[in-house]
């Protein structure tokens, strides 16, 4: 079954600095990869996805992520973090065949320091 | 993408009672999903609900505890039955608006924050 690892519990970054949230995955077959963000007392908001094509995908709010098949990674990045980016970020993976369940990582709390 | 209305947004319930959570989608969707997010943890899939058939439950979740209805292509309910404090979680519904069944941009409701006292 598919699984996701988000190795860091919390990511602290100064406002204006680059932000990176790490994600590695395990799946049989080709992966479908997603990033979601959760603000306090809110549901999940979709940020971006990789299904096929260009390894660098761009999403909402200036975020992007790069699919690296050899490293089985899908790290989320933003060139210049904003205080409003402080939230909980989840990486998720689904498989292109077989079990189509969406497996989530444990989430990373991002804290952007003014 | 689909827009989901989920209610209630939060509730505080007495142990031993039941709560029904509603999920309304603004378009017809084939697959709807119910997740649980326990405090400080990630999302766990409870079940998949397809219209016209019984819900499919994940390991560790049973129909008697979490009965699900899916009367049409735009609506579903999840009931948390005979609640205990361990059921305190955020419950989220999700849809697969493209009907691909492969996680193409799943959309999530805003969640129901349940506290059982």
Q: What residue in B sits closest to A5 (Cα-Cα)?
A: B42
Q: What is the mean pLDDT of residues B41-59?
A: 89
Answer yes or no: do B104 and A95 touch at CB < 8 A.
Answer: no
Phi, psi at residue A83, to the nearest 5°? -60, -35
- Count interface pairs A-B at CB distance under 8 A: 55
- The confidence score (pLDDT) of residue A5 equals 94
Answer yes or no: do A44 and B43 touch at CB < 8 A.
Answer: yes
Whether the pLDDT of residue B31 is over 90: the answer is no
Least confident of A56-65, A91-100, B22-31: A91-100
- The confidence score (pLDDT) of residue B107 equals 84
Answer yes or no: do A32 and B45 touch at CB < 8 A.
Answer: no
Whether the pLDDT of residue B102 is over 90: the answer is no
- Spell out the residues 6+ positions from residue B97 whose beta carbon is closer than 8 angstroms to its own: B1, B2, B27, B29, B104, B105, B107
* CA B61/CA B46 separation, integer angstroms: 6
Residues A70, A2: contact at Cβ < 8 Å?
no
Answer yes or no: do B6 and A102 touch at CB < 8 A.
Answer: no
Residues A73, A24: contact at Cβ < 8 Å?
yes
Strand B31-37, strand B56-57: pairing: unpaired
What integer best gives the mean pLDDT of chain B?
A: 90
What's the gap in Å between the CA of B108 and the closest CA on chain A?
6
Residues A36, B94: contact at Cβ < 8 Å?
no
Q: Which candidate, A25, A5, A11, A29, places its Cα nearest to that of A71?
A: A25
- The confidence score (pLDDT) of residue B30 equals 82
Phi, psi at residue B46, to the nearest 5°? -85, -55
- The confidence score (pLDDT) of residue B101 equals 54
Tell me: the pLDDT tens digits for A9-56?
899 999 999 999 999 999 888 898 999 999 887 778 889 989 888 999
What single-letter DSSP state applies at residue A15?
Answer: T
Chain A CB contacts of B104 under 8 Å are: 32, 49, 51
């Amino acid at each position: 079954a598919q699984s996701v690892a988000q190795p860091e519990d919390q990511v602290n970054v100064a406002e204006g600095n680059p932000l990176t949230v790490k994600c590695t995955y395990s799946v049989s077959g080709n992966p479908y990869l997603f990033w979601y963000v959760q603000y306090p007392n809110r549901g999940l908001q979709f940020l971006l996805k990789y299904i096929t094509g260009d390894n660098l995908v761009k999403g909402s709010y200036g975020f992007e992520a790069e699919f690296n098949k050899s490293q089985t990674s899908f790290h989320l990045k933003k060139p210049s973090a904003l205080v409003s980016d402080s939230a909980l970020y989840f990486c998720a993976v689904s498989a292109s065949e077989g079990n189509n369940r969406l497996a989530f990582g444990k989430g990373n709390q991002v804290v952007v320091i003014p | 993408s689909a827009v989901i209305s989920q209610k209630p947004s939060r509730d505080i319930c007495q142990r031993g009672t039941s709560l029904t959570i509603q999920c309304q989608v603004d378009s017809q969707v084939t697959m709807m999903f119910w997740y649980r997010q326990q405090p400080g943890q990630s999302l766990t899939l409870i079940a998949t609900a397809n219209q016209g058939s019984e819900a499919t439950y994940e390991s560790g979740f049973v129909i008697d505890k979490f009965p699900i209805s899916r009367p049409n292509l735009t609506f579903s309910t999840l009931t948390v039955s005979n609640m205990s404090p361990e059921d305190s979680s955020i419950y989220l519904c999700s849809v697969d608006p493209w009907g691909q069944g492969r996680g193409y941009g799943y959309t999530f409701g805003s969640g129901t924050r349940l506290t059982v006292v």
